């Protein structure tokens, strides 16, 4: 019997992250089996208790560098993975940041003359600044605080919470809306199969009309997922 490849994630079934990963893998690498471990603690526990040496395990655990609990769990996870030749870790800040860093995010969510581009200019600018400082590797609390200033209600958010808030503010009331509990249909379906679409709901893909496979390929190439999967020896067809 041939060896199987699993992707273990920390989010529960039905959550936005689970919906995304199952869609992504189904379209680009359907042989990979996505499994939820309910939460980050259970995911770490599952890796520590892993005795199977035949199958391959890819682990997606948030690496929120300014969250003390997550940092400790990452440390334990890395130690457990280092003892197992068939366990591979994806170095991702969090699911929300991965969507946020997508190079075509703004151009997909908003049509060229969409009024949201002007109404949400502050959050668009905040997103751009966050992606720039993360990619530069020069993250500091002063820069993060300046980004948080786009919303006066934000206070003491770690990088995961800030990414989730930015992503929701950018995508709300669109087919790409992302919250903790749900992933907009436009991330999961071919254009344009958004069930609740209104006549004036025109996004940046209104003319392109991509298939779901084309969307996932574009996302793969336009985020850190490309380098992360390449680093562990799993290159998707692009």
Residue 149 lies in a domain: yes
Q: Is the pLDDT of residue 238 over 80?
A: no
121 and 227 together in one domain: no
| pLDDT, position 40 | 87
Are residues 108 and 201 both part of a single domain? yes
pLDDT of residue 146 exceeding 80: no
Residues 67 and 44 in one domain: yes
- Mean pLDDT of the chain, nearest integer: 90
Same domain, 19 and 112: no
Output the six-digit token pair for 149.
């200033």
Q: Which helix H or strand E contains 117, and what residues bound it?
A: helix 116-119
Residue 238 maps to a domain: no
pTM confidence score: 0.90
Domain extent at residue 224 = 5-94+218-231
Q: What is the 3-state secondary structure (H, E, C) of 18-85?
A: HHHHHHHHHHHCCCEEEEECCCHHHHHHHHHCCCCCCCEEEEECCCCCCCHHHHHHHHHHHHHHHCCC
Query: Tell me: the pLDDT tens digits for 71-119?
Result: 788 889 999 999 999 999 999 999 999 999 999 999 999 999 999 999 9
Name every residue whose Cβ is closer than 8 Å to that of residue 233 and which is 6 or more positions away in sequence: 88
Question: What was the pLDDT predicted at 200?
Answer: 79
Flag whether 236 is in a domain. no
Same domain (yes/no): 110, 200? yes
Q: Are residues 65 and 152 in the same domain?
A: no
Q: How far apart are CA 118 and CA 131, in angstroms?
A: 20
Q: What's the residue count for the chain?
A: 238
Q: Which CATH number is 87's domain given?
A: 3.40.50
User: Which residues, listed in sequence order, are joined to residue 178 by a DSSP beta bridge?
Assistant: 183
Residue 70 belongs to some domain of the structure: yes
Mind listing the pLDDT tens digit for each residue in 168-224? 999 999 999 999 889 999 999 999 988 888 887 889 999 889 999 999 999 999 999
Domain presence at residue 237: no
- pLDDT band, residue 9 (cuts 50/70/90): very high
How many angstroms separate the CA atoms of 131 and 133, rounded? 6
Q: How far is CA 135 from the centre of its chain?
A: 15
* Domain count across the chain: 2
Query: Would you state the pLDDT for residue 168?
Result: 96
């Amino acid at each position: 019997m041939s060896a199987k490849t699993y992707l273990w994630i920390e989010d529960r079934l039905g959550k936005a992250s689970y919906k995304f990963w199952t869609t992504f893998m189904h379209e680009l690498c359907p042989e990979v089996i996505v499994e939820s471990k309910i939460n980050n603690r259970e995911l770490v526990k599952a890796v520590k208790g892993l005795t199977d040496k035949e199958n391959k395990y890819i682990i997606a655990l948030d690496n929120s560098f300014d969250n003390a609990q997550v940092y400790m769990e990452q440390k334990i996870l890395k130690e457990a993975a280092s003892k197992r030749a068939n366990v591979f870790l994806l170095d991702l800040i969090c699911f929300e940041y991965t969507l946020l860093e997508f190079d075509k995010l703004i151009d997909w969510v908003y049509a060229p003359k969409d009024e949201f581009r002007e109404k949400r200019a502050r959050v668009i600018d905040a997103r751009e600044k966050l992606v720039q400082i993360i990619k530069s590797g020069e993250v500091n609390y002063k820069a993060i605080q300046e980004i948080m200033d786009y919303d006066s209600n934000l206070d003491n958010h770690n990088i995961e919470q800030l990414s989730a808030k930015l992503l929701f503010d950018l995508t709300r009331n669109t087919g790409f809306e992302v919250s903790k509990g749900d992933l907009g249909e436009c991330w999961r379906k071919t254009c344009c199969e958004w069930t609740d679409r209104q006549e004036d709901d025109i996004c940046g893909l209104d003319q392109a009309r991509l298939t779901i496979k084309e969307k996932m390929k574009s996302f793969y190439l336009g985020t850190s997922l490309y380098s992360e999967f390449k680093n562990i020896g799993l290159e998707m067809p692009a």
